[in-house]
Every structure is written in C-alpha cells, then in structure tokens.
Structure 1
C-alpha cells in the first residue's frame, strides 16, 4: 500500500476531533442556530472521516494530494532539471561502460570517451548554476569556462579521432600515399590568408591540426584572464568585447578545419559515421551559443525582465540558459548512443583486435 503524507493524516484527525468537541458543546445550546451548527459539524465530521478512511484503505499517493499538486514553479523547474541531469548521466554512463567493456582500440576509444563525457559535464555544470542561482559573477564565469574549455578539448580530440580512423600520424610523418595530392578548396575569408586551392600533404595536415588545437590553448587562457579580471573587479566592457571577438574567431577557425578535413576524407570516413559524430559536437556548441544570443536579444527588447529589485536580468538569463542546457543534453546523450556506438568494437570480440601501432 502506498502511504500518504503524515501531515495530511494528522490534519484530518485534528479536524475530526475539533468537530466532535464543538459539536458536543453546541448540542448543549437550545437555539436553532446552535442546533443547526451542531448538525453541520457532525456532517462535516462524517465526511472527513470518510475521506480519512478512503485515504488509509485505498493508499492514495502523496503526489495526488492537493498540497502536492500545487507546487511552486521553482520546484517544478528544480525537479525537471534534476530528472534531466539524471537521464543524461544514465545514458552517457551506459555508453561509456559499453566502450570500457569492449576496449579494443585505445587510441580511438580514448578520444570517444572524452567526447561522450561532454553532454553530462554540460548538464551537471548547468545544474550547479541553477542550485547556486545567486552566486557571484566570477562564479558563473568559472562555470561557463569549464564548459567552453572542455568544448575546446573535445574539438581537438575529434580531429585526433579522425586521424586515427585514417592511420595518420604527423609526429611520425605517417601519411598514406593514396591521400596525398588531393585538392583543398578554401572559401572566403580564408582566401585572404591561404590560396584558393592547395594540395594535401604533410604540411597541410599539420596546418589543419594547428588550426584546431589553437582553440584548445586560447580558450583556457581567455577564461583564466576573465576570471582574474572579474575577481579584482577590473573588467571593462571593451575587454569583454575583445575577448568575445577573439574566442569567436578562434572557435570558427577550429570548426572550419574540421569541416575541411571531413570534406577531403569523406569517402574514407564514411563507414565511421563522421557527420553524425560531428553534428553531435556541433549541435551542443550551436545550441549553447545561439540560445545565449537569443536570450540576450529578448532581454534587450524587454521581453525578459525582472519584477524584483534584488533579481537582475542577467541572473534570469543565466537561469533560462541553464534550464535549456539541462533539457537539451538529454537529447544529445541519447543521440550519442548512435553516433558513438560501441557496436564496431563489439564485433571484434571473437577476433584479434586490430593493431593501433600505425596510428600511434
């Protein structure tokens, strides 16, 4: 039997006892008013006893009581975000366990594990921001920096994963002959710095790698700078805009190099579902970035506004952003089950695993 809340039962019992006592004293009166009140009291007591008996015998769960149904919106947000984070962590850990149980190609699967952990890290990070809603500006900058620094690492590891699929090792100058000489067509504004058409060789591959890894270095450096300036309360708006422009150029260059790499090796990478893998990363980055832009626009138009002097619009934006991220990571954690499936490694269980020596 499902138990009902203790407070509800005690309230019903106290009300019944109150009606009994008042009914007793009212029966001592002689007027019609006191008699009528006594009758109504007895009827009310009988109804409440029926409700109490129904609750105790049928086992109505506490979640169906009126007190539980009327929850504050903040409670609904908190419960929903908690559930979203739990689902995200569940699916991510499930996929992670499958790769660990079928650990056949360490070089590839190490990169995959780092990428898989992106969704739960984003969800937990945003959830912490919801719990500590009234934290300092430096605290929220620190939370954002964790996500964005990990994003930089994931982008770099994605390129390393593609290199592993193709058995390319720039450190050992291992570049298959069949891929050398392929044409790379750059588009504007990259044509301002590179020829419109270049041929693939060791130098070109190294350049693409550098374009990707530069974001993994610039992002943490900018995060440390922002946190330090905010901690000492020296963070003018022109510094904020300068750092934002630098980061946007840096991440655009990193993503551009991944697109070029996928375009050049689309045929060789097709069995590994590179587009699905890339969209999983790009989707997380895309949603987190552009929904932040949309929230800023809604705040500037006055659609998002604060009704209280102690609550700033920036905090409301941060709250909406964290709620959306918690919900979106549920989708991406499920999508990762397809994009980064452990099935190709399970298929090699009965055979000797391929060697990674060429790809190291």
Structure 2
C-alpha cells in the first residue's frame, strides 16, 4: 500500500487533536474575568484561521496523492502553502505581538517565493505545450507598453520580451526579502517606526521601495499575460492571476491603508492595540472566505488519476 493512502487519515487525526486543544483554550481565555478586548479578537480570528487552514491543506494533500504532473504541481503546492502561512502568521501575531515582526518577516519572504513559483508555473505550462516558446512569441505583433509606462521602449518580441517579463517579476523576489530584513534590523534598533510616515523613520522609505517593486512586478506579469493569453487560455489564467495578485499584494496595501487611517486619526488607539494587531485581525478575517477561492483555482481535479 502506498504511503499516500495514509496522508488523509493522519491529517484528520492531527487536525482534530489540534482543534480539541486550541478551542477549549480560546473559550477559557474568552470567559476569564476582565478579559481584554484583544482576547475576543483572538477567539474570532482563531475560528476563521481554524476554518481556513484545513481547506488549503486538504487541497495540498489531494495534489500530493494525485501527483501526476510534477512539472506544474510542485509549483501549485508551494503556492497553496501561502494560505496556511498567512493564517498562522495572523493568529500568532495576535497572540504574541512582541514577535509579530518576526512572523511577518517569514510571511513576506514567502510572498516573494510565491511570485517566483507562479511565474515558473506559467512558463513551465507554456513550454510543455509550446516547446519553442520563443518562436511563438516572435511571431506575435509588437506589443506597446501600457500607461503609465508608455514612455518606455517596446520590448522586442521573443526571448527579449520573455526575459524582461521574467526579470521584472523576479526582482520582487529579491527586493522584498531584502527590505523585510532591513525592516527587521531597523525595528531592533528602534528606527523603523511602523505606520509612521516620518522622514526620520525607515518605514516611509521601505514602503516606497516595496510599492515601486510591487507595481513593476505586477505590470510585468500583466504584460506577460497580454502576450500569452491565447496560449494560457486552457488553464484559466485570469482567475489564477487575480488570486496571486490578491494574496500577495493584499497584505501590503492593507497595512498601508491601516497606517494612513491611523495617521489621519480615522482609526484611534484602543487599549494596548497596535497597528500589527489591526493588520493581523484583517488578514485572519479574510483567509477563511477569500482564500478558499484561491484554493479552488489551483484545484487538484485536473491532475487526478483515473
């Protein structure tokens, strides 16, 4: 009997034990006398997280059981791990706020890894269907840049175009971990200033760098899709592209929005809550509903063995 036959029963038992341990802990904390508001946030966020993680892990397990196309499925599995990592990061950051920046550091590095794997997934699919992809793209009409990058010279169709799109997307996988590491160091020496747009703090400068890097990576992915949308159409690339865009870039823009609202006084300080707490709650509340759509678009069924 294959080892894959034992994956599902082991997962069900382990996750049931996790729920049996975690849920009573949350309920006890919730009903303690004078429990602070943050404990209620633990409980609500914990329920959403406990609901989101099994959906994603079950899809990962199904891909492992029906591992019929390693060239594509290894990237899908790596992309799907983003959901439990997001969920665990959000909840642990609420419970251990002093370690939130370390949890977020790991999550942000994995975000960059997801971009790499998504691009590799698209390229591997195209190369499996069109072995001479360079020649296919060379036969296409010259593509012009979209606003606000109309001033750039057009990329020559063929290998040059592929390289520009690949390098443009992959620069984010280098810059994001680098800026995350710098943010971690700045936080340790007290000059980061999370949510503070003061020129004396590193938060403003790192936010600008991340913003530019993300916009360019997203733009290069859009250009790549515009060029290859007909070739990619059998694997429904729009839904997958929107999923990755939502997951990877959502947390960054959410953190910026929260910081702006806090700086303008729209969000006021409540007890000992910090911006990390608000950000973590926002992520935790979204993973159960929107990330299930993420899993559905990387479904295992098309790879299932008969």
- Match of 1:216, SS state, is helix
Does structure 1 retain, via aligned residues, the 8 Å contact 2:144–2:150? no
Cα separation, partners in 2 of 1:320 and 1:229, compared to 1, 3 Å: closer
Cα separation, partners in 2 of 1:283 and 1:79, compared to 1, 3 Å: same
Is 1:237–2:194 an aligned residue pair?
no
Is 1:329–2:287 an aligned residue pair?
yes
- Match of 2:146, SS state, is coil
* RMSD of equivalent CA atoms: 2.6
Matches of 2:69 and 2:248 in 1, distance apart? Answer: 27
Is 1:339–2:300 an aligned residue pair?
no
Match of 2:127 in 1: 167
Does structure 1 retain, via aligned residues, the 8 Å contact 2:191–2:201? no
Match of 1:209 in 2: 166
Cα separation, partners in 2 of 1:74 and 1:219, compared to 1, 3 Å: closer
Matches of 1:75 and 1:239 in 2, distance apart? Answer: 31
Matches of 1:168 and 1:208 in 2, distance apart? Answer: 19
Matches of 1:332 and 1:146 in 2, distance apart? Answer: 21
Match of 2:268 in 1: 305
Match of 2:181 in 1: 224
Does structure 2 retain, via aligned residues, the 8 Å contact 1:168–1:174? no
Question: What stretches of structure 1 of length at least 5 have no aligned partner?
Answer: 1-62, 351-360
Match of 1:280 in 2: 243
TM-score, normalised to structure 2, is: 0.79
Does structure 1 retain, via aligned residues, the 8 Å contact 2:168–2:216? yes
Q: Structure 2 matches for 1:36-185, cutoff 5 A?
A: 73-133=37-97, 135=98, 139-167=99-127, 174-175=132-133, 177-182=135-140, 183-185=142-144
Question: What stretches of structure 2 of length at least 5 have no aligned partner?
Answer: 1-26, 193-198
Match of 1:57 in 2: none
Matches of 2:267 and 2:277 in 1, distance apart? Answer: 12
TM-score, normalised to structure 1, is: 0.68
Does structure 2 retain, via aligned residues, the 8 Å contact 1:168–1:176? no
TM superposition shift of 1:233: 3.2
Match of 2:221 in 1: 258
Deviations 1:227-256 (A, max 9, x none): 223323355735332222111111111111
Match of 2:11 in 1: none
